[in-house]
A and B are shown apart, each in its own frame.
Chain A
Amino acid sequence: MEPAVLQASDWGFIFANWQTIALGVVVTVLLTATSLTLGFALGFPSGAIEVYGEGWLAEAVSTAGVLLRGTPIVVLIVLFYFALPIPQLGSLPVVGVKVDAFVAATLALGLRSAAYQAQVFRGSIQSIGEGQLEAARSVGMTKLQAIQHVVFPQAVRRSLPGFQNEFTIVLKDTSVAFAIGLAELLTRAERLYLQPGRDTAVIEVIIAISAIYFVLTFTTNRTLDYIYSRYAIPGGNS
Protein backbone atom coordinates (compact mmCIF):
# COMPACT_ATOMS: atom_id res chain seq x y z
CA MET A 1 0.00 0.00 0.00
CA GLU A 2 1.20 3.49 -0.82
CA PRO A 3 2.13 5.95 1.99
CA ALA A 4 -0.83 8.07 3.06
CA VAL A 5 0.25 11.36 1.49
CA LEU A 6 0.72 9.87 -1.93
CA GLN A 7 -2.74 8.45 -2.31
CA ALA A 8 -4.04 9.70 -5.61
CA SER A 9 -7.61 9.50 -4.45
CA ASP A 10 -6.92 11.93 -1.57
CA TRP A 11 -5.32 14.47 -3.87
CA GLY A 12 -8.22 13.97 -6.24
CA PHE A 13 -10.55 14.72 -3.36
CA ILE A 14 -8.82 18.07 -2.81
CA PHE A 15 -9.07 18.98 -6.49
CA ALA A 16 -12.70 18.00 -6.52
CA ASN A 17 -13.29 20.41 -3.64
CA TRP A 18 -11.21 23.27 -5.05
CA GLN A 19 -14.16 25.65 -4.81
CA THR A 20 -14.42 25.20 -1.06
CA ILE A 21 -10.71 25.89 -0.68
CA ALA A 22 -10.83 28.87 -3.04
CA LEU A 23 -13.64 30.43 -1.01
CA GLY A 24 -11.50 29.90 2.10
CA VAL A 25 -8.65 31.74 0.40
CA VAL A 26 -10.99 34.62 -0.42
CA VAL A 27 -12.08 34.90 3.22
CA THR A 28 -8.50 34.69 4.46
CA VAL A 29 -7.31 37.39 2.05
CA LEU A 30 -10.32 39.57 2.87
CA LEU A 31 -9.80 39.22 6.60
CA THR A 32 -6.07 39.95 6.25
CA ALA A 33 -6.86 43.06 4.23
CA THR A 34 -9.49 44.45 6.62
CA SER A 35 -7.34 43.68 9.68
CA LEU A 36 -4.17 45.22 8.26
CA THR A 37 -6.11 48.28 7.11
CA LEU A 38 -7.62 48.76 10.54
CA GLY A 39 -4.20 48.09 12.06
CA PHE A 40 -2.55 50.71 9.86
CA ALA A 41 -5.32 53.29 10.31
CA LEU A 42 -4.95 53.05 14.10
CA GLY A 43 -1.32 51.95 14.37
CA PHE A 44 0.27 54.75 12.38
CA PRO A 45 -1.31 57.61 14.36
CA SER A 46 -0.72 55.67 17.59
CA GLY A 47 2.99 55.43 16.79
CA ALA A 48 3.05 59.19 16.16
CA ILE A 49 1.16 59.86 19.39
CA GLU A 50 3.62 57.72 21.33
CA VAL A 51 6.46 59.87 19.98
CA TYR A 52 4.94 63.35 19.92
CA GLY A 53 1.91 63.10 22.15
CA GLU A 54 1.59 63.89 25.81
CA GLY A 55 -1.08 63.77 28.50
CA TRP A 56 -4.00 61.37 28.71
CA LEU A 57 -4.05 60.52 24.99
CA ALA A 58 -0.45 59.28 24.94
CA GLU A 59 -1.12 57.49 28.20
CA ALA A 60 -4.25 55.78 26.79
CA VAL A 61 -2.54 54.74 23.55
CA SER A 62 0.41 53.28 25.38
CA THR A 63 -1.79 51.36 27.85
CA ALA A 64 -4.03 49.98 25.09
CA GLY A 65 -0.89 48.81 23.29
CA VAL A 66 0.45 46.99 26.33
CA LEU A 67 -2.90 45.23 26.90
CA LEU A 68 -3.34 44.21 23.26
CA ARG A 69 0.23 42.95 22.87
CA GLY A 70 -0.03 41.05 26.13
CA THR A 71 -3.14 39.05 25.27
CA PRO A 72 -3.12 35.87 23.17
CA ILE A 73 -4.86 36.42 19.85
CA VAL A 74 -7.22 33.46 20.36
CA VAL A 75 -8.36 35.00 23.64
CA LEU A 76 -8.95 38.34 21.93
CA ILE A 77 -10.94 36.85 19.10
CA VAL A 78 -13.16 34.74 21.35
CA LEU A 79 -13.60 37.63 23.76
CA PHE A 80 -14.60 40.04 21.01
CA TYR A 81 -16.97 37.55 19.41
CA PHE A 82 -18.83 36.65 22.57
CA ALA A 83 -18.46 39.80 24.70
CA LEU A 84 -18.93 42.65 22.23
CA PRO A 85 -22.51 43.59 21.35
CA ILE A 86 -21.99 43.15 17.60
CA PRO A 87 -25.43 42.90 15.94
CA GLN A 88 -26.19 39.81 13.86
CA LEU A 89 -26.09 41.12 10.33
CA GLY A 90 -26.61 38.02 8.23
CA SER A 91 -23.93 36.61 5.95
CA LEU A 92 -21.45 37.97 3.45
CA PRO A 93 -22.51 37.19 -0.13
CA VAL A 94 -20.71 34.43 -2.11
CA VAL A 95 -18.43 33.26 0.73
CA GLY A 96 -21.31 32.79 3.17
CA VAL A 97 -19.47 34.00 6.27
CA LYS A 98 -21.42 35.45 9.18
CA VAL A 99 -20.88 39.21 9.26
CA ASP A 100 -20.72 39.43 13.06
CA ALA A 101 -17.97 36.80 13.22
CA PHE A 102 -16.06 38.58 10.46
CA VAL A 103 -16.35 41.92 12.30
CA ALA A 104 -15.20 40.35 15.59
CA ALA A 105 -12.21 38.73 13.85
CA THR A 106 -11.32 41.98 12.08
CA LEU A 107 -11.47 43.89 15.37
CA ALA A 108 -9.32 41.36 17.21
CA LEU A 109 -6.71 40.96 14.47
CA GLY A 110 -6.86 44.67 13.52
CA LEU A 111 -6.49 46.08 17.02
CA ARG A 112 -3.75 43.63 17.91
CA SER A 113 -1.97 44.53 14.66
CA ALA A 114 -2.41 48.25 15.44
CA ALA A 115 -0.60 47.68 18.72
CA TYR A 116 2.33 46.07 16.91
CA GLN A 117 2.31 48.47 13.95
CA ALA A 118 2.39 51.39 16.40
CA GLN A 119 5.72 50.05 17.70
CA VAL A 120 7.08 49.66 14.18
CA PHE A 121 6.14 53.25 13.33
CA ARG A 122 7.27 54.62 16.69
CA GLY A 123 10.70 53.10 16.12
CA SER A 124 11.05 54.50 12.63
CA ILE A 125 9.79 57.96 13.59
CA GLN A 126 12.31 58.05 16.42
CA SER A 127 15.08 57.01 14.05
CA ILE A 128 14.60 60.19 12.00
CA GLY A 129 17.11 62.69 13.38
CA GLU A 130 15.90 65.68 15.38
CA GLY A 131 17.77 67.86 12.87
CA GLN A 132 15.25 66.98 10.14
CA LEU A 133 12.39 68.39 12.21
CA GLU A 134 14.44 71.45 13.21
CA ALA A 135 15.39 72.18 9.61
CA ALA A 136 11.74 72.04 8.58
CA ARG A 137 10.73 74.32 11.43
CA SER A 138 13.59 76.70 10.62
CA VAL A 139 12.01 77.59 7.27
CA GLY A 140 8.75 78.38 9.04
CA MET A 141 6.83 75.13 8.77
CA THR A 142 4.48 74.28 11.63
CA LYS A 143 5.25 71.16 13.67
CA LEU A 144 2.41 69.36 11.92
CA GLN A 145 3.67 70.36 8.45
CA ALA A 146 7.18 69.29 9.41
CA ILE A 147 5.97 65.90 10.61
CA GLN A 148 3.74 65.44 7.56
CA HIS A 149 6.25 66.47 4.88
CA VAL A 150 9.61 65.60 6.39
CA VAL A 151 9.32 63.00 9.15
CA PHE A 152 6.51 60.76 7.88
CA PRO A 153 7.77 60.21 4.32
CA GLN A 154 11.07 59.00 5.74
CA ALA A 155 9.53 57.06 8.63
CA VAL A 156 7.12 55.17 6.35
CA ARG A 157 10.01 54.02 4.18
CA ARG A 158 11.90 52.75 7.20
CA SER A 159 8.75 51.02 8.47
CA LEU A 160 8.36 48.75 5.46
CA PRO A 161 10.55 45.85 6.65
CA GLY A 162 8.78 45.80 10.01
CA PHE A 163 5.43 46.10 8.28
CA GLN A 164 6.35 43.13 6.11
CA ASN A 165 6.74 40.99 9.22
CA GLU A 166 3.45 42.25 10.54
CA PHE A 167 1.70 41.39 7.29
CA THR A 168 2.98 37.83 7.41
CA ILE A 169 1.91 37.43 11.03
CA VAL A 170 -1.61 38.76 10.43
CA LEU A 171 -2.11 36.62 7.33
CA LYS A 172 -1.19 33.44 9.19
CA ASP A 173 -3.07 34.48 12.32
CA THR A 174 -6.33 34.80 10.41
CA SER A 175 -6.40 31.03 10.95
CA VAL A 176 -7.29 31.57 14.61
CA ALA A 177 -10.74 32.75 13.40
CA PHE A 178 -11.17 28.98 13.37
CA ALA A 179 -11.95 29.38 17.09
CA ILE A 180 -15.20 31.22 16.35
CA GLY A 181 -16.11 29.04 13.39
CA LEU A 182 -15.36 31.68 10.78
CA ALA A 183 -15.02 29.86 7.48
CA GLU A 184 -11.58 31.03 6.43
CA LEU A 185 -9.04 28.73 4.80
CA LEU A 186 -8.12 26.55 7.78
CA THR A 187 -11.71 26.16 8.99
CA ARG A 188 -12.91 25.06 5.56
CA ALA A 189 -9.99 22.69 5.20
CA GLU A 190 -10.89 21.06 8.48
CA ARG A 191 -14.49 20.68 7.42
CA LEU A 192 -13.25 18.88 4.31
CA TYR A 193 -11.26 16.20 6.05
CA LEU A 194 -13.81 15.80 8.84
CA GLN A 195 -16.41 14.65 6.34
CA PRO A 196 -17.49 11.07 7.11
CA GLY A 197 -15.15 8.55 5.52
CA ARG A 198 -12.55 11.14 4.51
CA ASP A 199 -10.13 11.04 7.44
CA THR A 200 -7.35 9.68 5.24
CA ALA A 201 -7.01 12.98 3.39
CA VAL A 202 -5.98 14.96 6.49
CA ILE A 203 -2.29 15.34 5.63
CA GLU A 204 -2.96 16.12 1.97
CA VAL A 205 -5.39 18.88 2.92
CA ILE A 206 -2.97 20.37 5.44
CA ILE A 207 -0.12 20.27 2.90
CA ALA A 208 -2.32 21.93 0.30
CA ILE A 209 -3.36 24.81 2.54
CA SER A 210 0.19 25.25 3.87
CA ALA A 211 1.29 25.68 0.29
CA ILE A 212 -1.44 28.25 -0.24
CA TYR A 213 -0.39 30.24 2.86
CA PHE A 214 3.19 30.08 1.64
CA VAL A 215 2.33 31.33 -1.84
CA LEU A 216 0.29 34.20 -0.36
CA THR A 217 3.05 35.34 2.02
CA PHE A 218 5.81 34.81 -0.52
CA THR A 219 4.21 36.79 -3.35
CA THR A 220 3.15 39.63 -1.07
CA ASN A 221 6.60 39.81 0.50
CA ARG A 222 8.23 39.95 -2.93
CA THR A 223 5.81 42.72 -3.88
CA LEU A 224 6.65 44.68 -0.72
CA ASP A 225 10.38 44.11 -1.40
CA TYR A 226 9.85 45.65 -4.79
CA ILE A 227 7.99 48.64 -3.33
CA TYR A 228 10.76 49.08 -0.74
CA SER A 229 13.50 49.25 -3.35
CA ARG A 230 11.35 51.26 -5.76
CA TYR A 231 10.81 54.01 -3.17
CA ALA A 232 14.21 53.79 -1.46
CA ILE A 233 15.95 57.14 -1.11
CA PRO A 234 18.74 57.27 -3.73
CA GLY A 235 22.18 57.09 -2.17
CA GLY A 236 20.67 56.53 1.27
CA ASN A 237 20.61 53.42 3.40
CA SER A 238 16.93 53.51 4.24
Chain B
Amino acid sequence: MSLLRVDSVDKSYGDEPVLHDVSFGMDRQQVEVIVGPSGSGKSTLLRCVNRLTEIDSGEIYLDDEEIHGVDENELRRRVGMVFQDFNLFAHLTARGNITLGLREVLGLSKAEADAKADDYLDRVGLADQADSYPAELSGGQQQRVGIARALAMDPELILFDEPTSALDPELIGEVLTVMKDLAEEGMTMLCVTHEMGFARSAADTITFLDDGEIVERGPPEQLFENPEHERTGTFLGELTGLHQ
Protein backbone atom coordinates (compact mmCIF):
# COMPACT_ATOMS: atom_id res chain seq x y z
CA MET B 1 0.00 0.00 0.00
CA SER B 2 1.36 3.39 -0.95
CA LEU B 3 1.92 5.96 1.76
CA LEU B 4 1.56 8.76 -0.79
CA ARG B 5 -0.37 8.58 -4.01
CA VAL B 6 -0.62 11.54 -6.35
CA ASP B 7 -3.29 11.00 -8.99
CA SER B 8 -3.76 13.12 -12.14
CA VAL B 9 -2.91 16.40 -10.47
CA ASP B 10 -3.29 19.63 -12.41
CA LYS B 11 -2.33 23.06 -11.20
CA SER B 12 -2.15 26.47 -12.87
CA TYR B 13 -1.23 29.90 -11.57
CA GLY B 14 -3.75 32.01 -13.46
CA ASP B 15 -3.30 31.13 -17.12
CA GLU B 16 0.11 29.62 -16.49
CA PRO B 17 -0.08 25.81 -16.26
CA VAL B 18 2.40 24.52 -13.68
CA LEU B 19 1.53 20.85 -13.24
CA HIS B 20 -0.22 18.67 -15.77
CA ASP B 21 -1.60 15.21 -15.13
CA VAL B 22 1.04 14.34 -12.55
CA SER B 23 0.66 10.87 -11.04
CA PHE B 24 3.00 8.80 -8.89
CA GLY B 25 3.05 6.87 -5.68
CA MET B 26 5.60 6.14 -2.99
CA ASP B 27 5.79 3.54 -0.24
CA ARG B 28 6.83 3.96 3.36
CA GLN B 29 10.56 4.24 4.01
CA GLN B 30 11.18 5.22 0.41
CA VAL B 31 13.26 8.13 -0.77
CA GLU B 32 11.99 9.82 -3.88
CA VAL B 33 13.99 12.56 -5.57
CA ILE B 34 12.34 14.95 -8.00
CA VAL B 35 14.62 16.66 -10.47
CA GLY B 36 13.93 19.06 -13.29
CA PRO B 37 14.80 22.46 -14.70
CA SER B 38 13.75 25.55 -12.75
CA GLY B 39 10.14 26.41 -13.39
CA SER B 40 9.26 22.78 -14.06
CA GLY B 41 6.82 22.65 -11.13
CA LYS B 42 8.92 20.68 -8.62
CA SER B 43 8.37 22.99 -5.66
CA THR B 44 4.72 23.46 -6.52
CA LEU B 45 4.27 19.68 -6.53
CA LEU B 46 5.77 19.43 -3.02
CA ARG B 47 3.64 22.27 -1.74
CA CYS B 48 0.51 20.59 -3.08
CA VAL B 49 1.26 17.55 -0.93
CA ASN B 50 1.01 19.54 2.33
CA ARG B 51 -1.54 21.94 0.85
CA LEU B 52 0.54 25.09 1.17
CA THR B 53 -0.66 25.28 -2.44
CA GLU B 54 -4.05 23.91 -3.48
CA ILE B 55 -4.41 21.80 -6.62
CA ASP B 56 -6.95 22.55 -9.35
CA SER B 57 -7.93 18.97 -10.04
CA GLY B 58 -6.85 15.42 -9.33
CA GLU B 59 -6.41 13.63 -6.03
CA ILE B 60 -3.67 13.15 -3.48
CA TYR B 61 -3.86 10.32 -0.98
CA LEU B 62 -1.87 10.00 2.21
CA ASP B 63 -2.25 6.55 3.72
CA ASP B 64 -5.29 5.98 1.46
CA GLU B 65 -7.05 9.09 2.71
CA GLU B 66 -7.69 11.90 0.24
CA ILE B 67 -5.85 14.88 1.76
CA HIS B 68 -8.52 17.41 0.88
CA GLY B 69 -10.88 15.56 3.17
CA VAL B 70 -8.43 15.86 6.08
CA ASP B 71 -8.04 18.95 8.25
CA GLU B 72 -5.10 20.85 6.73
CA ASN B 73 -3.38 21.34 10.07
CA GLU B 74 -3.69 17.64 10.85
CA LEU B 75 -2.26 16.88 7.40
CA ARG B 76 0.70 19.19 7.94
CA ARG B 77 1.41 17.64 11.31
CA ARG B 78 1.78 14.33 9.48
CA VAL B 79 3.77 15.72 6.55
CA GLY B 80 6.87 17.68 7.55
CA MET B 81 8.57 20.24 5.36
CA VAL B 82 12.11 21.54 5.04
CA PHE B 83 12.49 24.80 3.13
CA GLN B 84 15.12 26.13 0.76
CA ASP B 85 15.53 29.28 2.85
CA PHE B 86 15.32 27.35 6.15
CA ASN B 87 12.56 29.66 7.43
CA LEU B 88 13.59 29.24 11.04
CA PHE B 89 11.56 31.39 13.43
CA ALA B 90 13.97 34.29 13.79
CA HIS B 91 12.92 35.24 17.33
CA LEU B 92 13.35 31.78 18.81
CA THR B 93 16.42 29.75 19.72
CA ALA B 94 17.21 26.50 17.94
CA ARG B 95 15.42 24.70 20.76
CA GLY B 96 12.50 27.14 20.66
CA ASN B 97 12.09 26.55 16.93
CA ILE B 98 11.48 22.89 17.64
CA THR B 99 9.41 23.19 20.82
CA LEU B 100 6.89 25.68 19.39
CA GLY B 101 5.15 23.07 17.26
CA LEU B 102 5.51 20.40 19.93
CA ARG B 103 3.77 22.59 22.47
CA GLU B 104 1.19 24.38 20.35
CA VAL B 105 0.28 21.56 17.99
CA LEU B 106 1.01 18.36 19.89
CA GLY B 107 0.27 19.84 23.32
CA LEU B 108 3.46 18.62 25.01
CA SER B 109 4.48 20.14 28.33
CA LYS B 110 7.47 22.48 28.35
CA ALA B 111 9.71 19.85 29.94
CA GLU B 112 8.67 17.14 27.46
CA ALA B 113 9.08 19.49 24.50
CA ASP B 114 12.50 20.69 25.68
CA ALA B 115 13.72 17.14 26.15
CA LYS B 116 12.47 16.07 22.75
CA ALA B 117 13.96 19.15 21.05
CA ASP B 118 17.35 18.52 22.63
CA ASP B 119 17.14 14.92 21.47
CA TYR B 120 16.57 15.92 17.87
CA LEU B 121 19.20 18.65 17.98
CA ASP B 122 21.61 15.97 19.13
CA ARG B 123 20.58 13.79 16.18
CA VAL B 124 21.51 16.52 13.71
CA GLY B 125 24.74 17.22 15.57
CA LEU B 126 23.71 20.52 17.15
CA ALA B 127 23.31 19.63 20.82
CA ASP B 128 25.66 22.48 21.73
CA GLN B 129 23.67 25.09 19.77
CA ALA B 130 20.29 24.64 21.48
CA ASP B 131 20.35 28.18 22.89
CA SER B 132 21.61 29.88 19.72
CA TYR B 133 19.35 32.07 17.63
CA PRO B 134 19.08 31.48 13.87
CA ALA B 135 21.11 34.59 13.02
CA GLU B 136 23.94 33.19 15.16
CA LEU B 137 24.09 29.95 13.17
CA SER B 138 25.66 29.15 9.79
CA GLY B 139 23.36 28.26 6.91
CA GLY B 140 24.18 24.58 7.25
CA GLN B 141 23.41 24.67 10.96
CA GLN B 142 20.16 26.52 10.33
CA GLN B 143 19.05 23.93 7.82
CA ARG B 144 19.88 21.13 10.25
CA VAL B 145 17.67 22.85 12.84
CA GLY B 146 15.01 23.05 10.11
CA ILE B 147 15.29 19.30 9.61
CA ALA B 148 15.15 18.66 13.37
CA ARG B 149 12.06 20.88 13.60
CA ALA B 150 10.29 18.82 10.94
CA LEU B 151 11.47 15.47 12.39
CA ALA B 152 10.41 16.24 15.95
CA MET B 153 6.75 16.32 14.91
CA ASP B 154 7.05 12.58 14.10
CA PRO B 155 5.82 13.00 10.53
CA GLU B 156 5.01 10.07 8.27
CA LEU B 157 6.64 11.85 5.35
CA ILE B 158 9.05 14.77 5.03
CA LEU B 159 9.14 17.09 2.04
CA PHE B 160 12.51 18.65 1.24
CA ASP B 161 12.28 21.70 -1.03
CA GLU B 162 15.78 22.26 -2.42
CA PRO B 163 17.27 22.08 1.08
CA THR B 164 20.83 22.84 -0.01
CA SER B 165 20.25 25.39 -2.78
CA ALA B 166 20.71 28.41 -0.53
CA LEU B 167 23.91 27.09 1.06
CA ASP B 168 27.52 27.90 0.38
CA PRO B 169 29.17 24.88 -1.25
CA GLU B 170 31.23 24.00 1.82
CA LEU B 171 28.07 23.76 3.97
CA ILE B 172 26.11 21.43 1.70
CA GLY B 173 27.85 18.29 2.92
CA GLU B 174 26.71 18.53 6.54
CA VAL B 175 23.06 18.82 5.47
CA LEU B 176 23.31 15.96 2.97
CA THR B 177 24.91 13.77 5.64
CA VAL B 178 21.93 14.33 7.92
CA MET B 179 19.55 13.56 5.04
CA LYS B 180 21.43 10.36 4.14
CA ASP B 181 21.30 9.23 7.77
CA LEU B 182 17.55 9.83 7.79
CA ALA B 183 17.11 7.85 4.61
CA GLU B 184 19.06 4.96 6.10
CA GLU B 185 16.93 5.07 9.24
CA GLY B 186 13.88 4.54 7.07
CA MET B 187 12.31 8.00 6.99
CA THR B 188 10.01 8.46 4.01
CA MET B 189 11.36 11.43 2.08
CA LEU B 190 10.18 13.33 -0.99
CA CYS B 191 13.04 15.60 -2.06
CA VAL B 192 13.44 18.28 -4.67
CA THR B 193 17.19 18.68 -5.10
CA HIS B 194 19.93 19.28 -7.61
CA GLU B 195 22.37 17.19 -5.58
CA MET B 196 22.94 14.33 -7.98
CA GLY B 197 25.35 12.58 -5.61
CA PHE B 198 22.58 12.38 -3.03
CA ALA B 199 20.04 11.31 -5.66
CA ARG B 200 22.29 8.54 -6.90
CA SER B 201 23.21 7.15 -3.51
CA ALA B 202 20.09 7.71 -1.41
CA ALA B 203 17.11 7.74 -3.75
CA ASP B 204 15.01 4.66 -4.43
CA THR B 205 13.29 6.43 -7.28
CA ILE B 206 14.04 9.55 -9.30
CA THR B 207 11.33 11.47 -11.09
CA PHE B 208 12.27 13.82 -13.89
CA LEU B 209 9.77 16.63 -14.17
CA ASP B 210 9.81 19.03 -17.09
CA ASP B 211 7.20 21.65 -18.02
CA GLY B 212 4.88 20.37 -15.32
CA GLU B 213 4.82 16.81 -16.58
CA ILE B 214 6.59 13.68 -15.48
CA VAL B 215 8.91 12.81 -18.33
CA GLU B 216 10.48 9.75 -16.78
CA ARG B 217 10.54 7.98 -13.47
CA GLY B 218 12.63 5.05 -12.26
CA PRO B 219 15.52 3.86 -10.12
CA PRO B 220 18.68 6.00 -10.21
CA GLU B 221 20.68 3.52 -12.28
CA GLN B 222 18.06 3.59 -15.00
CA LEU B 223 17.84 7.39 -15.21
CA PHE B 224 21.56 7.97 -14.99
CA GLU B 225 22.76 5.06 -17.17
CA ASN B 226 19.89 4.22 -19.49
CA PRO B 227 17.34 6.98 -19.69
CA GLU B 228 14.41 6.25 -21.97
CA HIS B 229 14.07 9.86 -23.00
CA GLU B 230 16.78 12.00 -24.48
CA ARG B 231 15.63 15.01 -22.42
CA THR B 232 16.29 13.06 -19.19
CA GLY B 233 19.78 12.11 -20.26
CA THR B 234 20.65 15.63 -21.35
CA PHE B 235 19.36 17.21 -18.13
CA LEU B 236 20.99 14.71 -15.75
CA GLY B 237 24.18 14.81 -17.77
CA GLU B 238 24.37 18.58 -17.44
CA LEU B 239 23.68 18.49 -13.70
CA THR B 240 26.17 15.72 -13.04
CA GLY B 241 28.77 17.46 -15.17
CA LEU B 242 28.25 20.64 -13.21
CA HIS B 243 29.01 18.97 -9.94
CA GLN B 244 32.14 17.13 -11.01
Enumerate chain A residues within 8 angstroms of B194, measured Cβ to Cβ: none
Please determine whether A139 and B135 come into contact, CB atoms closer than 8 angstroms.
no
Chain B proximity of A204: nearest CB distance (Å): 49
Enumerate chain A residues within 8 angstroms of B105, measured Cβ to Cβ: 139-141, 145
- When chains A and B are docked, how far (Å) is the Cα of A233 from the Cα of B50? 30
Q: A140-B105, A235-B135 are in contact. Are A135 and B89 (CB under 8 A)?
A: yes
Q: How many inter-chain contacts with C-beta < 8 Å in the A-B complex?
A: 83
Please determine whether A131 and B136 come into contact, CB atoms closer than 8 angstroms.
no
Band of interface residues on B = 20 to 34
1/0 per position for B69-83, CB-CB distance to A under 8 A? 000011111001101
Contact check: which of A138, A157, A235 meets B133 at CB < 8 Å? A235
A137 at the interface (CB under 8 A from B): yes
Tell me whether chain A's interface is mostly helix, strand or loop, or mixed.
helix
Enumerate chain B residues within 8 angstroms of A237, measured Cβ to Cβ: 135
1/0 per position for A132-161, CB-CB distance to B under 8 A? 101111111110010001100110010000
Enumerate chain B residues within 8 angstroms of A55, measured Cβ to Cβ: none
Of all chain A residues, which has the CB nearest B85?
A131
Please determine whether B80 and A150 come into contact, CB atoms closer than 8 angstroms.
no
B91 at the interface (CB under 8 A from A): yes
Q: Which positions 71-112 of chain B face chain A at CB distance < 8 Å?
A: 73-77, 80-81, 83, 85, 87-91, 100-101, 104-105
Q: Which 5 A-B pairs have the closest CB atoms?
A: A235-B135, A140-B77, A139-B101, A135-B87, A235-B136
Binding site for B on A (CB under 8 A): 129, 131-132, 134-142, 145, 149-150, 153-154, 157, 233-238
15 contacts between A and B (CB under 8 A): A131-B85, A131-B87, A132-B87, A134-B83, A137-B76, A138-B76, A138-B80, A139-B80, A140-B153, A145-B104, A149-B104, A154-B90, A233-B90, A236-B90, A236-B135
Binding site for A on B (CB under 8 A): 50, 52, 73-77, 80-81, 83, 85, 87-91, 100-101, 104-105, 132-136, 149-150, 153
